[in-house]
């Protein structure tokens, strides 16, 4: 897209005619791969649920009702109620907001930190690159959850800190990915010719290299976001993420585990919500790869 | 080099945890003099670099200090917990490989058939399902509803081998499921690539039967990327073990770290994280070495920048 913008108008029109646009390609992929389209639709549904939570949820997700403790699913409470008489359905709906926030913002953080570092490492190479990559190796040596547990312990448990921990855990992947892409792209003829024309480092990186690696980074994000969503649920489940009474799917499952025999419905829906969201993201991600990378 | 950086990160990180370990140790009714005495005893008064140097020097010799909470040597605590987690991890690995490799081969050989679609679909679900929810659902079905297996707990294998296996079966399945999903995808892709290679066609042209071609010629090379992924997935396996042990109340390494974090037991957190990270680095070194076994053509050049 960015490449077309730099072309003269007539040429750009030509290029658009020859290459189907992103929207058209998305439509073609959607028709060819209904599973991916369905995944994307479900993800959008969750986004709608997260944004519209105050209007969709019939009850206040944190309001307790002592007359409705651990009631089985009914017409008034389709997902049942929990140990404090809160409405399960409302809590699952509000939970979408927390999960989405954690998933999207943590990966954004990883991109904001990881991509520039990878860009610099891949572009300048040499000693700096070596240093960055050794540090990245050490960073990667911490299993994701162990790192997140450590960070959350240092920062204190909360949604923001869990998001930061997950984001920092995902950062090395982005450093490596970006560096690899930059190494490959720098060798391309158009980058070499731009350099020969006297383009500076910043212009080369920002104008010629970055636009060409964006799609790979976006595709990686669609793989990383469901992982981050599950990571948030895990941290909250362990008591290291979102704190009660906020309705996080992980926290809800933590409570549910204590009442498995008396109130199994408490465990069904939050987990199912995570599962369906992650599955849809993965399906949509496969489709997006085809849309953004017509060569692949 | 990598290990040194890891040890530094661990040390600095643990020191940044808010809360005073001396206070935790002394209890709420300790006076200032009591706190001071404890700080003196555990060297908490000295500057950070001194504390780090001393800790590292001891750690290299296998002495990781003693737990602030239980007063037991960290090495002893870890040594008691580690076999439990290793057993769990090995069983999970067995489950994962046992499912993933055959399923991956089947999907690759019968590409684009119902088998392939089925295997890929199950694998996609396996990647997407949060394993702690899978664990909870299994407990609900197998233990609460059917009453087939105990829901939680641990019995040492030496005391009661059958009881041990009974209690480890579900955790191993839960921990192995996610890994199986990843490995299956990888096996399928690798096998598809290998099966279209020239030497496989030659083997077929020689008139070799399908099983011989697939198992003897293709699998060996197809396994190389699978082994790489397996090494990289060890981190996920360790993370998964923490959660799995939490759900099934298994007194292993994972529960140890969660407990240590909540009680601010510095030496234990340090020791556990250091061991985990080192183990991960070493496993991946072994993975690199295993390439040469699987494929003698690969010889690692320049060993200067190893771990």
B positions 181-210 inside 8 Å of A (CB): none
Nearest CB to A234: which of B137, B144, B243? B243
Res A8: pLDDT: 41
Which domains are assigned to chain B?
2-60 (no CATH), 75-256 (1.10.3720.10)
- Whether residue B256 has pLDDT greater than 80: yes
Verify whether the Cβ–Cβ distance B136 to A238 is below 8 Å: no
Q: What is d(CA A24, CA A18) in angstroms, rounded to the nearest whole number?
A: 12
* Enclosing H/E stretch for B207: none
Residue B41 neighbours by CB distance under 10 Å: 11
pLDDT at A88: 79
Query: Quick check: A257 contacting B, CB < 8 Å?
Result: yes
Interface contact flag, A238 B258, Cβ < 8 Å: yes
Of all residues in chain A, the one with the smallest CA distance to B152 is: A257
Residue pair A148/A161 in contact (Cβ under 8 Å)? The answer is no
Digit-coded pLDDT (tens) for B47-75: 777 777 777 777 766 677 777 777 788 88
Higher pLDDT, A105 or A136: A105
**Would you list the DSSP string of B159-206?**
T-HHHHHHHHHHHHHHHHHHHHHHHHHHHHHHHHHHHTSHHHHHHHHT
| Contact check, Cβ <8 Å, B130/A233 | yes
Residues 42 to 81 of B: which have CB under 8 A from any A CB? none
Any CB–CB contact under 8 A between B274 and chain A?
no
Name the β-bridge partners of B73.
B66
Give B-chain residues touching A262 at CB under 8 angstroms. Answer: none
What three-state secondary structure class fits B75? helix
SS (H, E, C) chain A: CHHHHCCCHHHHHHHHHHCCCHHHHHHHHHHHCHHHHHHHHHHHHHHHHHHCHHHHCCCCCCCCCHHHCCCCCCCCCCCCECCCCCEHHHHHHHHHHHHHHHHHHHHHHHHHHHHHHHHHHHHHCHHHHHHHHHHHHHHHCCCHHHHHHHHHHHHCCCHHHHHHHHHHHHHHHHHHHHHHHHHHHHCCHHHHHHHHCCCCHHHHHHHHHHHHHHHHHHHHHHHHHHHHHHHHHHHHHCCCCCCCCCCCHHHHHHHHHHCCCCCCHHHHHHHHHHHHHHHHHHHHHHHHHHHHCCCC
pLDDT of residue A7: 39
ipTM here: 0.76
**Among candidates A129, A53, A296, A92, which has minimal Cα distance to B305?**
A129
pLDDT average, residue stretch A238-252: 86
Question: Looking at the complex, does the CB of residue B243 fall below 8 Å from at least one CB of chain A?
Answer: yes
Determine which of B239, B246, B247, B283 to mutate to test the interface with A (most A C-beta atoms within 10 Å).
B239
A144 to B18: CB separation less than 8 angstroms, yes or no:
no
Distance of CA A284 to the CA centre of its chain: 12
Half-sphere exposure of B124 (CA within 13 A, CB side): 21
Closest B-chain CA to A152? B17
Residue B293 confidence (pLDDT): 72
- pLDDT digit string, tens, across residues A91-114: 888 889 999 999 999 999 999 999
Contacts of A158 (CB under 8 A, 6+ apart): A241, A242, A243
pLDDT tens digits for A27-45?
A: 777 777 788 888 888 999 9
Distance set, CA A49 to CA A57, A279, A295, B225 (Å): 9, 17, 35, 40
Residues near A240 by Cβ (< 8 Å), separated by ≥ 6? A148, A149, A152, A153, A157, A162, B261
Tell me if chain A has a CB within 8 Å of the CB of B16.
Answer: yes
**Is the pLDDT assigned to residue B300 strictly greater than 60?**
no
B118 touches chain A (CB under 8 A): no
Distance, in Å, from the CA atom of A113 to the CA atom of A107, rounded to the nearest integer, reads 10
How near does any CA of chain B get to the CA of A66, in Å? 26
Q: Determine the residue among B117, B125, B130 to mutate to test chain A binding: the one whose Cβ has the most chain A Cβ atoms within 10 Å.
A: B130
Min Cα distance A142 → chain B (Å) is: 5
| Neighbouring-strand partners of residue B66 | B73
Q: How far is B130 from chain A (nearest CA, A)?
A: 6
Checking if the pLDDT of B211 tops 80, the result is no
Give the nearest chain A residue to B240 (CA atoms).
A145
Q: Would you call B250 an interface residue with chain A, using a CB distance cutoff of 8 Å?
A: no
Torsion region of B208: left, alpha or beta (phi above 0 gives left; psi -120 to 50 gives alpha): beta
Average pLDDT over residues A255-263: 81
Residue contacts between A and B (CB atoms, under 8 Å) = 126
Q: Write out chain B residues lying below 8 Å of A144, CB-based.
A: 235-236, 239
What is the mean pLDDT of the segment spanning B86-91? 88
Lowest model confidence (mean pLDDT) among A16-20, A140-144, A219-223, B134-138: A16-20
CB of B216 closer than 8 Å to CB of B107: no
d(CA B12, CA A289): 40
Q: Kindly list the structural domains of chain A, giving each domain's residue range(s) and its CATH number in brackets, ordered by start.
A: 21-59+77-292 (1.10.3720.10)
> Is residue A179 scored above 70 in pLDDT?
yes
| Per-residue model confidence (pLDDT) at position A117 | 93
The whole-model pTM stands at: 0.80
- Looking at residue A140, its pLDDT comes to 79
């Amino acid at each position: 897209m960015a490449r077309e913008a730099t072309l003269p108008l007539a040429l750009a029109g030509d290029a658009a005619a020859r290459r189907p646009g992103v929207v058209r390609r998305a439509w073609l992929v959607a028709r060819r791969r209904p599973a991916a389209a369905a995944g994307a639709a479900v993800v959008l549904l969750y986004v709608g649920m997260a944004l519209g939570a105050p209007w969709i949820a019939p009850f206040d997700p944190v309001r307790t009702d002592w007359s409705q403790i651990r009631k089985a699913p009914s017409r008034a409470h389709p997902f049942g109620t929990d140990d404090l008489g809160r409405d399960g359905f409302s809590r699952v709906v509000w939970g979408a907001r927390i999960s989405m926030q954690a998933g999207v913002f943590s990966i954004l953080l990883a991109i904001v930190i990881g991509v520039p570092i990878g860009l610099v490492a891949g572009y300048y190479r040499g000693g700096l690159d070596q240093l960055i990559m050794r540090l990245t190796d050490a960073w990667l040596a911490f299993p994701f959850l162990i790192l997140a547990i450590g960070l959350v312990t240092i920062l204190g448990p909360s949604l923001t800190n869990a998001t930061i921990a997950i984001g920092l855990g995902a950062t090395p992947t982005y450093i490596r990915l970006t560096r690899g892409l930059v190494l490959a792209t720098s060798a391309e003829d158009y980058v070499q010719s731009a350099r020969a024309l006297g383009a500076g480092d910043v212009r080369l990186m920002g104008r010629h290299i970055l636009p060409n690696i964006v799609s790979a980074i976006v595709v990686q994000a669609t793989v990383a976001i469901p992982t981050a969503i599950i990571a948030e649920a895990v941290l909250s489940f362990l008591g290291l993420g979102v704190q009660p009474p906020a309705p996080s799917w992980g926290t809800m499952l933590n409570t549910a585990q204590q009442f498995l025999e008396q109130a199994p419905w408490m465990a069904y829906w939050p987990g199912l919500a995570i599962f369906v969201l992650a599955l849809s993201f993965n399906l949509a991600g496969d489709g997006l790869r085809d849309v953004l990378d017509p060569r692949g | 080099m990598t290990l040194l950086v890891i040890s530094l990160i661990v040390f600095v990180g643990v020191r940044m945890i808010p809360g005073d370990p001396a206070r935790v140790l002394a209890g709420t009714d300790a006076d200032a003099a009591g706190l001071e005495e404890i700080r003196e005893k555990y060297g908490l008064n000295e500057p950070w670099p001194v504390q780090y140097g001393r800790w590292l020097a001891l750690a290299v010799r296998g002495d990781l200090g003693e737990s602030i909470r239980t007063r037991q040597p960290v090495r002893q605590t870890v040594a008691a917990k580690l076999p439990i987690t290793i057993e769990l991890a090995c069983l999970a690995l067995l489950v994962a490989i046992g499912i993933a490799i055959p399923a991956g081969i089947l999907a690759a050989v019968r590409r684009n058939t119902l088998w392939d679609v089925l295997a890929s679909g199950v694998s996609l679900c396996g990647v997407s399902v949060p394993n702690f929810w899978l664990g909870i659902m299994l407990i609900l079905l197998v233990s609460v509803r059917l009453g087939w297996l105990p829901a939680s707990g641990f019995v040492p294998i030496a005391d009661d081998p059958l009881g041990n296996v009974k209690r480890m079966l579900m955790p191993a399945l839960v921990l192995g499921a996610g890994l199986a999903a990843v490995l299956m995808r990888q096996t399928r892709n690798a096998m598809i690539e290998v099966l279209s290679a020239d030497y496989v066609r030659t083997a077929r042209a020689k008139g070799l039967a399908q099983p011989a071609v697939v198992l003897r010629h293709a699998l060996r090379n197809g396994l190389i990327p699978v082994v790489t992924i397996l090494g990289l997935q060890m981190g996920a396996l360790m993370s998964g073990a923490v959660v799995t042990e939490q759900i099934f109340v298994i007194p292993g390494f994972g529960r140890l770290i969660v407990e240590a974090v909540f009680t601010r037991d510095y030496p234990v957190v340090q020791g556990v994280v250091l061991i985990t990270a080192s183990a991960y680095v070493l496993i991946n070194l072994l993975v690199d070495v295993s390439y040469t076994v699987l494929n003698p053509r690969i010889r690692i050049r320049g060993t200067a920048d190893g771990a």
